[in-house]
Structure 1
């Protein structure tokens, strides 16, 4: 049997063929029908051909949520290229590392992130191998100054393709690489997760099998699209199915509530901190959000009180669990069980398998309620990490992906996440690794030792706390510590609190004693 073409852009073209006048995208004050949406995607695809983009080249994007983000993503797939969305919160050194490792053919940059690219030490070498294109065709991201000579304007880049012939979208199959998405590894250095078109497609099949999403739904894309949750939980599938996607550059709790009511939003991916921020606004009591049939929340467990607050508004918050490596969902709790199983991340997705494994022995945990590491297998799971066979080997065991998250099953088979094997901190839906922050602080003048942990926080789920010991007479403030680390890690990773200790606890092997450290940090 011949393989089936599952390129998402082919699905979008199908919508434009049969439903050309149906709304596809809303961004700011602009709306595109499917016919207009495809025309814009085609413009970028022609420009890629004219500018020498080949199959499997990487197309990188550094900027906030936007219409251009989606045009460029789908245009990359049209020509068989790989889309590489970059975390716009990363520091210059982090961005430089990703670009040097991924070697994109093109890097699109919004003006507000120009400074990040300009300060890259290897910028001239990078520019010699990567076309640097400044977005200048978005009224919500206007140019504010003259750009350096190594940048080309997006309008000029597009002009090059105006008279270029463009064929049908390149056929893409299960194993063809579609997205290269960098996410922090166990040591904190980002790893490039390879997501194939098959991974993307099978996540959609999982979602469609369990979640009440429908053709023609309105989807709100307000979570960062550089995250797999924002991009592939619902947004790509919505465009393929003929839905309308409302894209917002960033999250504003009041604006989000207004959008839900104004556009009768049916589906959206949000993290718990977003739900909490919306609930705390004055508008929450007044707006009608009952159109939200598929509100999927992941990134951290949702507090039961928040579930109840949304139930009063007629909305069931549907919890899920997964990672970038699972594209993103591995489990899902159906809406009708939201309040019967509070705190559960649900059941395995239909085409995904889950094991609970003792990380010490590699044996399955059989007893109800006993914890172990969550292992995942399925066609939505990545094949591995970009040019990193060591990391790939350590993350997989006989075809099973080792998630690093600790969980358990209850007596009815429902899954719960209770801790992170690798001490990852989740703050506002962002993954933060203590080792990365510890390294960033290690050179602080007068610092003797440092440990970083996450402690519970009502707004963000967790917040970053640094416990430090210093040489006599050195007593830094939190502002000084944050200022020092700003050039090394993204701002959202910076400590929100510091604690000065005489000695940071370590065990007999010289390793940080994280149990004692957390006890000190939480005061219990």
Structure 2
């Protein structure tokens, strides 16, 4: 075998554990490692037949599904690059991802057909494939679909797998070759594609196996979208590497999540504080059997004491952590045993990762307890930003450490504490929101002369974006009008929760808006 990347994983699992259940779908169907590997081979053959070659990009717009994983690993077999698209993006944002990545093929769930068809010509896509959500039968099996095809859709994936060329395509792939491009909201208004290599994703999986004690008997409930770095790099991939089982959900509902935990004896669950809060507040919480749960991981922001207490009362505790898309995404983890002793910390560096605090741009190491920029080094740190050499160079120190853009400090025991976000990023329900992206749109609205977007604490989402504006005298701007104007241009989770108009935005001597002043004024 020439493939020494992710493309070899499923064929190896098929050999070692062919009848082990790899996936359980939302409707209760199971798929063994043999079937998943066979379908992935068929997918790689289909993509090859569509002209996909080493280094080409293939985009996927859809919810958690076997098709998502088949496409990811099918691309990996060919040395092609997988580009998962956030399903919450607005059409202009999707178009940017497709154009910037240069995707040759877009696979999409039927639900997104109307959204993507107008973008095909604009993005220059040679091939569009509708997954139809049912590509879980063995290739070649005569099992007609009971679903009506989407009107005017391209032939469904199931049909193309049956009629296309099949067979495993073995292409030489190494650890340093690109595997995935994950688009992260840009600080300058455009999303940037973070390029993760096969080695990056392998090492972050190993970090997860080591620091979270994953075992082959683990059953993970995947309620977070696989297009997010955390769900992919620290959820799906390590589970498949270890030979565990995933229960794939296409969305999160607290009551259903509790039901699935009990039904499938879930051992592993990942989410953000909002996820765990909604579950603890659900009427079924007290009566649900949670005895199988052994590993709860939480990211996005610190777990509030109220949530810690609710889970501790059920004999459960959390592993918390810190990271970003560019680190695949794990950088640090806090073991459950240290949750109370080091409350507020995001933990120690992952096993194969290093973290330091720099006091200046040259990477001078700050003393313990001193706040500085958090910098990360390790085999899980990304290759760079797609087709953006200058931002890539700026993201690294002269000696090769990744500049996170976040401020923090290490205590005397080496535990990391986050002090502030240097880039003003807002984290709302686990989604990263960059104010510049919203501000760029706000400046295009009639009457707006100044705009600043800030994160305001929210009991449910952790933070929500507020827009603080200055406008032309006599011009009236309302929250409803601004949200309506931006809806369809930005994803809805990025729309300002509230719009406030003030006389003058506070600025530094150089003219930069003092967002800290605005956060202090409006409750941030």
Coarse TM-score class (shorter-chain normalised)? over 0.9
Q: Say whether residues 1:433 and 2:438 are aligned partners.
A: no
Corresponding residue number in structure 2 for 1:70:
69
2:214–2:242 contact (8 Å) kept in structure 1: no
Distance 1:311 1:188, change over 3 A: farther
Residue 158 of structure 1, aligned match among 153, 157, 161: 161
Residue 135 of structure 1, aligned match among 131, 134, 157: 131
| Cα drift, residue 271 of structure 1 | 1.2
Match of 2:496, SS state, is: coil
Question: 100-109 or 138-147, which moves further after superposition?
Answer: 138-147
2:196–2:328 contact (8 Å) kept in structure 1: yes
1:51–1:160 contact (8 Å) kept in structure 2: no
Q: Deviations 1:386-431 (Å, cap 9, x if unpaired)? A: 1100110110012100001111112222111121101000000111
* CA distance in structure 1 between the partners assigned to 2:436 and 2:133 by the alignment: 40
Corresponding residue number in structure 2 for 1:12:
10
* CA distance in structure 2 between the partners assigned to 1:421 and 1:23 by the alignment: 44
1:385–1:392 contact (8 Å) kept in structure 2: yes
Distance 1:25 1:165, change over 3 A: closer
2:95–2:122 contact (8 Å) kept in structure 1: no
Distance 1:55 1:160, change over 3 A: farther
Corresponding residue number in structure 1 for 2:142:
none
* CA distance in structure 2 between the partners assigned to 1:70 and 1:331 by the alignment: 26
* CA distance in structure 1 between the partners assigned to 2:447 and 2:122 by the alignment: 36
Corresponding residue number in structure 1 for 2:498:
497
Question: 14-23 or 26-35, which moves further after superposition?
Answer: 14-23
| Cα drift, residue 116 of structure 1 | 2.5
Unaligned runs of 5+ in 2: 137-145
Corresponding residue number in structure 2 for 1:312:
313
Q: Deviations 1:130-185 (Å, cap 9, x if unpaired)? A: 3111222439996675126xx443234323424x4434x43432201111111123
* CA distance in structure 2 between the partners assigned to 1:125 and 1:333 by the alignment: 45
Corresponding residue number in structure 2 for 1:488:
489
Distance 1:331 1:143, change over 3 A: farther
Distance 1:234 1:277, change over 3 A: same
1:212–1:293 contact (8 Å) kept in structure 2: no
Alignment length, in residue pairs? 513
* CA distance in structure 1 between the partners assigned to 2:14 and 2:290 by the alignment: 29
* CA distance in structure 1 between the partners assigned to 2:199 and 2:211 by the alignment: 19
* CA distance in structure 1 between the partners assigned to 2:328 and 2:148 by the alignment: 34
Match of 2:455, SS state, is: strand
Unaligned runs of 5+ in 1: none
Distance 1:4 1:354, change over 3 A: farther
| Cα drift, residue 326 of structure 1 | 0.6
Match of 1:166, SS state, is: coil
Match of 1:213, SS state, is: coil
Corresponding residue number in structure 1 for 2:341:
340
Q: Say whether residues 1:269 and 2:270 are aligned partners.
A: yes
Which portions of structure 1, spanning 4 or more consecutive aligned residues, are displaced by more than 4 angstroms? 3-6, 139-145
1:6–1:198 contact (8 Å) kept in structure 2: no
Match of 1:283, SS state, is: coil
1:290–1:315 contact (8 Å) kept in structure 2: no
| Cα drift, residue 359 of structure 1 | 4.2
| Cα drift, residue 456 of structure 1 | 1.0
1:467–1:521 contact (8 Å) kept in structure 2: no
Q: Say whether residues 1:101 and 2:97 are aligned partners.
A: no
The 5 Å alignment of 1:190-209 reads 190-209=191-210
Corresponding residue number in structure 2 for 1:460:
461
* CA distance in structure 1 between the partners assigned to 2:133 and 2:278 by the alignment: 32
| Cα drift, residue 301 of structure 1 | 1.3
* CA distance in structure 1 between the partners assigned to 2:126 and 2:329 by the alignment: 29
Q: Say whether residues 1:46 and 2:45 are aligned partners.
A: yes
Corresponding residue number in structure 1 for 2:332:
331
Q: Say whether residues 1:351 and 2:322 are aligned partners.
A: no
Distance 1:4 1:139, change over 3 A: closer
Corresponding residue number in structure 2 for 1:224:
225
* CA distance in structure 1 between the partners assigned to 2:7 and 2:244 by the alignment: 14
Q: Deviations 1:475-513 (Å, cap 9, x if unpaired)? A: 222121111112321111010111121222223322212
Match of 1:195, SS state, is: strand
Corresponding residue number in structure 1 for 2:152:
147
Tell me the TM-score normalized by structure 2.
0.93
| Cα drift, residue 207 of structure 1 | 1.5
* CA distance in structure 1 between the partners assigned to 2:82 and 2:148 by the alignment: 24
2:487–2:495 contact (8 Å) kept in structure 1: yes
Distance 1:137 1:257, change over 3 A: closer
* CA distance in structure 2 between the partners assigned to 1:77 and 1:118 by the alignment: 26
Q: Say whether residues 1:24 and 2:22 are aligned partners.
A: yes
Corresponding residue number in structure 1 for 2:180:
179
Match of 2:510, SS state, is: coil
| Cα drift, residue 21 of structure 1 | 1.6
Residue 121 of structure 2, aligned match among 124, 134, 138: 124
Corresponding residue number in structure 2 for 1:472:
473
Supply the RMSD in Å over aligned alpha carbons. 2.1
Match of 1:330, SS state, is: strand
